Amino acid sequence: NAGVMQNPRHLVRRRGQEARLRCSPMKGHSHVYWYRQLPEEGLKFMVYLQKENIIDESGMPKERFSAEFPKEGPSILRIQQVVRGDSAAYFCASSPPGTTPPYEQYFGPGTRLTVT
């Protein structure tokens, strides 16, 4: 059973370009979460999605950032017009459907974005 997959593992973009980060959840998982980890800092929640729905995007910057989790295919975190401050590690996590806590999350290896 493959774990959470993220690609690319490393991404370099120039200022003003777009970055697309992909996340394939574990098989059978229908909940996806995106987190950002700035250098020497902890993880900050960005967005929580279920298939075709954004449940909570309270951690997403208001501009340039968007996320989706289509019915088919991976979840995408999209950053438009990247700036140097977007350089960070972006982690995706997934969890299975269910109503009984704890809702354990399984993390991918992350995408390290560098903006030059």
Tell whether residue 28 is a contact of another protein (CB under 8 A): no
Helix (H) or strand (E) holding 24: strand 19-24
| DSSP β-bridge partners for residue 56 | 48
C-alpha–C-alpha distance, residues 99 and 71, integer Å: 21
Tell whether residue 57 is a contact of another protein (CB under 8 A): no
Residue 69 near residue 21 (C-beta atoms within 8 A): no
| Binder among 17, 20, 29, 45 for another protein (CB under 8 A) | 45
What is the closest distance, in whole angstroms, from the C-beta atom of residue 3 to another protein in the complex?
Answer: 9
Residues in contact with another protein by the rule CB under 8 A: 4, 6, 31, 33, 35, 41-45, 48, 55-56, 91, 93, 95, 99, 101-110
